[in-house]
C-alpha cells in the first residue's frame, strides 16, 4: 500500500502537529477543519514550530519552505477523498469521529486507509461504522507531535496485516518509534498516565498537597519532566476527563472514577493552557497555581 498523500482531519493541537511531521518527511498533506480561523491558526503553529526547529539546528530554512509547500488546506471534508491515508484528529468525542467517517465514506478510494488519532475510544467500534474495517486502525501520536517519538498502533479486531504493516513502516519514515497496543480502553500510554494524573488531582482535592507541592514532588521525586497537574493542563482537562470516563465506563472499575475536582474544572470551562486557566492561571508571564 503506497502512501503519498495524507489527509488530516482537524487543525488543532494534534492535527497541525501530525501535518507538520508528515510534510517534513516528504508527504503531501491536505489539512481540513470546520473554520478558516482554525486552519489559519494551525498553519501559523506549524510555521512557528518549524522555525523553532531551524533555531535548534535540526532543519534548514529550505526544509521549512519545502514542508510548508507540501501542506494544503480545505474547509471541505470530502476533498480528502482522493488521499491514500486519512488521519482523523478531531475532538475526543465518538459521535463526532463517527460522523466524520460517515461523511467521508462515499468519496474515498477503495484502497484508502482510515485511521483515528483517538487516545482512548474503541478502534473496533469506530471501524465497524465504516465500509472498510480491515483498513482501519488507531494511529495515536503523542503531544507535542513534532517532539514526541512514540506512535501507538492499535489494531481493531478486523484490521488486516497489510494495513498494519503499512502503518508500521510509515512510522519509521517519520523518524518515530511504533508501539503496538491491543484495542482496550485508553490503550497503553493513557491507561497508565491518566490514572496517575487523576490520582494527583485526588491528592489536591483531598488536601494532601498544593498544586505546586504535588508537581514539584513528581518532578524531583520521580524525575518527571512535568508535574502531573502541569501536564494535565497541557493535555487539556476536558481530554483528561473524557479519557477517564472511557476507562471508567469501559473497564467498570471504581479505581478509574474521575476525580470530582476534575469534573468541576471542566464544568467551569477551566480546561488548562488552551483556555488560559486550569490548575494554573496562564494569563500572566508565569503560570500561577489556582489552588
Measured between alpha carbons, how far is 186 from 154 in angstroms, rounded to an integer?
Answer: 10
Cα 127–Cα 129–Cα 131 angle in degrees, nearest 5: 80
244 contacts 256 by C-beta, under 8 angstroms: yes
What cell numbers appear for 34 in the block?
470546520
Q: Which three cell numbers stand for residue 266?
A: 471542566
Residue 70 CA: distances (Å) to CA of 41, 115, 239: 17, 21, 30
Is there a catalytic annotation at residue 16? no
In the set 92, 116, 120, 140, the catalytic residue is 140
Instruction: Verify whether residue 230 is a known catalytic residue.
Output: no
Cα-based angle 200, 202, 207 (whole degrees, multiple of 5): 100
For residue 21, give the C-alpha cell: 511531521
Count of C-beta atoms within a 10 Å radius of residue 260? 11
Cα–Cα distance for residue pair 154/176, rounded to 1 Å: 16
User: Which residue of the set 116, 190, 198, 230 is catalytic?
Assistant: 190
Taking the C-alpha atoms of residue 275 and residue 177, their distance in angstroms, rounded to an integer, is 32
Active-site residue flag, 107: no
Kindly name the residue from 116, 119, 122, 181 that is annotated as catalytic: 119
3-class secondary structure, 212? helix
The owner of cell 507535542 is 144
Among residues 117, 152, 198, 230, the one annotated as catalytic is: 152
Whether residue 279 contacts residue 235, with contact meaning beta carbons closer than 8 Å, is answered with: no
**Dist. CA 35–CA 33, nearest whole Å:** 6
For 130-242, list the strands marked E by DSSP.
136-141, 150-155, 177-181
How far apart (Å, rounded) are the C-alpha atoms in residues 175 and 163?
19
Active centre residues (catalytic)? 119, 140, 152, 190
Amino acid at each position: 500500500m503506497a502512501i503519498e498523500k495524507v489527509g488530516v482531519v482537524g487543525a488543532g493541537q494534534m492535527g497541525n502537529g501530525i501535518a507538520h511531521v508528515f510534510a517534513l518527511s516528504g508527504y503531501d498533506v491536505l489539512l481540513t477543519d470546520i473554520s478558516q480561523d482554525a486552519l489559519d491558526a494551525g498553519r501559523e503553529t506549524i510555521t512557528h514550530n518549524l522555525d523553532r526547529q531551524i533555531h535548534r539546528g535540526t532543519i534548514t530554512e529550505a526544509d521549512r519552505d519545502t514542508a510548508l509547500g507540501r501542506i494544503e488546506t480545505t474547509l471541505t471534508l470530502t476533498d480528502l477523498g482522493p488521499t491514500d491515508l486519512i488521519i482523523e484528529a478531531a475532538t475526543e468525542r465518538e459521535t463526532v469521529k463517527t460522523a466524520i467517517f460517515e461523511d467521508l465514506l462515499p468519496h474515498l478510494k477503495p484502497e484508502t486507509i482510515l485511521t483515528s488519532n483517538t487516545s482512548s475510544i474503541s478502534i473496533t467500534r469506530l471501524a465497524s461504522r465504516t465500509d472498510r474495517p480491515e483498513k482501519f486502525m488507531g494511529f495515536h501520536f503523542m503531544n507535542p507531535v513534532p517532539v514526541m517519538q512514540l506512535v501507538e498502533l492499535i489494531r481493531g479486531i478486523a484490521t488486516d496485516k497489510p494495513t498494519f504493516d503499512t502503518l508500521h513502516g510509515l512510522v519509521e519514515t517519520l523518524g518515530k518509534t511504533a508501539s503496538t497496543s491491543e484495542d482496550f480502553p485508553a490503550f497503553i500510554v493513557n491507561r497508565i498516565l491518566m490514572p496517575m494524573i487523576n490520582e494527583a488531582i485526588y491528592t489536591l482535592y483531598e488536601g494532601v498537597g498544593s498544586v505546586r507541592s504535588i508537581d514539584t514532588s513528581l518532578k524531583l521525586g520521580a524525575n518527571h519532566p512535568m508535574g502531573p497537574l502541569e501536564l494535565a493542563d497541557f493535555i487539556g482537562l476536558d481530554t483528561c476527563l473524557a479519557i477517564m470516563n472511557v476507562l471508567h465506563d469501559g473497564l467498570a472499575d471504581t479505581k478509574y472514577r474521575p476525580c470530582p475536582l476534575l469534573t468541576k474544572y471542566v464544568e467551569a470551562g477551566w480546561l488548562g493552557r488552551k483556555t488560559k486557566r486550569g490548575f494554573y492561571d496562564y494569563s500572566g508571564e508565569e503560570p500561577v497555581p489556582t489552588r
